[in-house]
Amino acid sequence: MIIDAVDVRRRYGETVALDGVSFSVDEGKIFALIGPNGAGKTTLVRALSGTTDAEGTVSVFGQSPADVARDRIGLLPQEFTPAGRLTAKELVEYYAGLYDESRDPEAVLDDVGLTDSADTFYENLSGGQKRRVCVGTALVNDPALLMLDEPTTGIDPTGRRDLWRLIEGLADGGTTVVLTTHYMEEAEELADHVGLLADGELVALGSPSELIGRYGGESRLLIEPEDGDAAVEALTDAGYEIISEDRRVAVPADATDIPSIVETLADAGVVYEGLTWRQPTLEDVYIELTGTDAASADGMTTEGWA
Ligand code: ATP
């Protein structure tokens, strides 16, 4: 076991940031922390990395986090703004120089997909490229434990997937990874275990499939009607339960239910632009347990979620 946290508590004055959090992470596993803004994710990462004190027990490599040798941990803070007039390569070299032993900076730049921008000033990189440089600075010491606080925020979908492959590769090589994210797809695809924090408490803990099985609900049909009220009325009259109604109306449905739902809509003259049938996802778990969607916590549009 690399991380063992038992009843971790942290207050900032009157604010309770962590209210008795317990979990553990084994070697080579990826643990994702999800939860609304202010849930305590960053505070927990800080408690694990030893950059803040907390009550309870936090053990990392069997030690108190502050005592762990620096080169064993890589930490990417949520807020990290390196010097703007250094190039991507100079920044990685600079951070590599802080350790007795470090990785080849060019290999690190290659890992984060920045070889072609190695000589660009940090300030002139795109938002996503900047974040990738920051991820690179957390990799220079070839850490056995990598903690990434929102590593892919601001990175475009392709770059995000590239970073997922990188993180998976590191974990396959034995690196233990703790990350926070507002992207449920990221947690679902990457993490071996997910912890959902809300108001400083871990309200759910398990593998993505366990959590989806427990809290995700049923498979569903998503209808994009021109007239939402008409669709809801037709479906309700026919005895269907409505899971949610937004831009899309969601109805619990097995694959075999689809024809009769389509018929119900047709009989009522409901016109729709799209029909999507899907299994529950971690996003549904998040909505079920927090009452909001994860996209809104990141300031993203809710378009596309249902
Ligand atoms: P986000 O998703 O917005 O990053 P988070 O889940 O990481 O949020 P934290 O940053 O850990 O949440 O904050 C938990 C709570 O502690 C919040 O109520 C926050 O306002 C408070 N808090 C965090 N850091 C401090 C601080 N340095 N001083 C006072 N209060 C703080």
In this structure, are residues 168 and 116 in contact, taking their beta carbons and an 8 Å threshold?
Answer: no
Lowest-confidence segment of 15-24, 270-279, 296-305 by average pLDDT: 296-305
* % the chain with pLDDT above 70: 96
Instruction: Identify whether the C-beta of residue 176 lies closer than 8 Å to the C-beta of residue 3.
Output: yes
- DSSP structural state of residue 63: B
| DSSP E strands, 143-271 | 145-149, 176-180, 193-198, 201-206, 220-225, 244-245, 249-252
β-strand partners of 275? 223
- Predicted confidence (pLDDT) per residue in 212-250, tens digit: 999 999 999 999 999 999 999 999 999 999 988 888 999
Residue 299 Cβ inside 6 Å of ligand 1? The answer reads no
Up-side HSE of residue 154: CA atoms within 13 Å toward CB?
16
* 17 Cα to the center of ligand 1, angstroms: 6
Token pair recorded at residue 50: 């030893």
Its pTM surpasses 0.85 = yes
Q: In Å, what is the CA distance from 43 to each residue of 51, 53, 239?
A: 9, 10, 46
Report which residue type is found at 281.
Answer: T
Is residue 195 within 6 Å of ligand 1 at its C-beta? no
For the chain, which residues make up each domain, given as ranges?
Answer: 3-214, 218-279
Distance (angstroms) between ligand 1 centre and the Cα of 15 equals 9
Is ligand 1 within 6 A of the CB of residue 40? yes
Using CA atoms, how far apart are residues 220 and 236, in angstroms rounded to an integer? Answer: 15
Atom of ligand 1 nearest to the CA of 33: 6
Q: How confident is the model at residue 159 (pLDDT cuts 50, 70, 90)?
A: confident
Check pocket membership of 302 for ligand 1, CB cut-off 6 A: no
CB crowding 89-116: b at 16 or more within 10 Å, else e:
bbbbbebbeeeeebbebeebbebbbbee
Average pLDDT score over the chain: 93
Q: How far apart are CA 187 and CA 177, in angstroms?
A: 12
Q: Is 35 in the pocket of ligand 1 (CB under 6 A)?
A: yes
pLDDT tens-digit readout, 251-266: 999 999 999 999 999 9
Expressed in angstroms and rounded, the spacing between residue 51 Cα and the centre of ligand 1 is 14
Fold for 3-214, please state it: Rossmann fold (3.40.50)
Report the nearest-CA residue for atom 31 of ligand 1: 12
- Best CATH choice for the domain 218-279 from the list 3.30.70.100, 1.20.1250.20, 1.20.1050.10, 3.40.50.300: 3.30.70.100
